[in-house]
Amino acid sequence: MSTDSPLFDRIRISPRGNKAKENAVPTCEFPGCTNPGTYKAPKGRQHEGRYWHFCLTHVREYNAAYNYFEGMTDEAVQAYQKDSLIGHRPTWTMGSSNSKNRKNGSDVPERDWAYSDPLGILKDAQLRAQAAKQPEVKQRVIPGTVRRALETLDLDETADAQTIRVTYKRMVKKFHPDAHGGDRAFEERLREIIKAHAVLKAAGFC
Ligand SMILES: [Zn+2]
């Protein structure tokens, strides 16, 4: 979107009669942004005269998205919103979108945009900002003792419980003195394997 678009010009100008001095610049209201919200964008139908405060980047992004929806039927807009929500939340757990629930590990405050974000533009941006922070939350943490135990069984951290159990049984058989005609040479190895299995079991890995 170019800066000489009519919409951009319109929203750049402060509405008449702003009695409150403009010395206190609000923060950009785009989810996850902390830049000064120097620019205003209309909140849209049924919210005439009300504005979002955005930084230059986000007022452009918002207007671009807003223009994109112009001419769309309400059903088409809703279909788009539904698609984009599903598409942008791969690791999103259902139920954490409750406004009082912030255990998604994000520092982007949950907000109910619906009252003034009929197109879902901001909600969508918020979900993207949160999704970007998700990956590390879901990562399985492997303690050193568990990692070493897995190595003892010739496995790595990708091994699931079933693989661990099967491998353990196979190795116990393989290194048991009975399998070597009573030769106790493999006894130490067998002891390590049994110990490793106990560690994995205690840690809930099998
Ligand atoms: Zn911004």
pLDDT tens digit string along 62-88?
888 877 777 677 777 677 666 665 554
CA of 58 to the centre of ligand 1 (A): 5
The domain of 183 spans: 144-202
Name the pLDDT band for 97 (thresholds 50, 70, 90): very low
Q: DSSP secondary structure string, 95-164?
A: TTTSTT--TT---SPP---TTT-TT-HHHHHHHHHHHHH-HHHHPPP--HHHHHHHHHTT--TT--HHHH
pLDDT confidence of residue 84: 61
Residues 90 and 56 in one domain: yes
Would residue 1 count as lying in a domain? no
Residues 133 and 164 in one domain: no
Last residue of a domain, one of 121, 137, 153: 137
Last residue of a domain, one of 119, 137, 155: 137
| Tens of pLDDT, residues 155-186 | 998 899 999 999 999 988 888 877 777 777 77
CA of 108 to the centre of ligand 1 (A): 13
Residues 122 and 24 in one domain: yes
User: Distance of alpha carbon 152 from its chain centroid, rounded?
Assistant: 35
Residues 97 and 20 in one domain: yes
pTM for the predicted model, two decimal places: 0.34
CA of 131 to the centre of ligand 1 (A): 18
Residues 81 and 33 in one domain: yes
Residues 98 and 176 in one domain: no
Residues 163 and 112 in one domain: no
Q: Which amino acid is at 130?
A: Q
Residues 22 and 54 in one domain: yes
Structural domains of the chain, count: 2
CA of 52 to the centre of ligand 1 (A): 11
| Tens of pLDDT, residues 22-54 | 467 899 998 889 999 999 888 876 777 888 899
| Tens of pLDDT, residues 108-123 | 444 545 556 767 778 7
CA of 21 to the centre of ligand 1 (A): 22
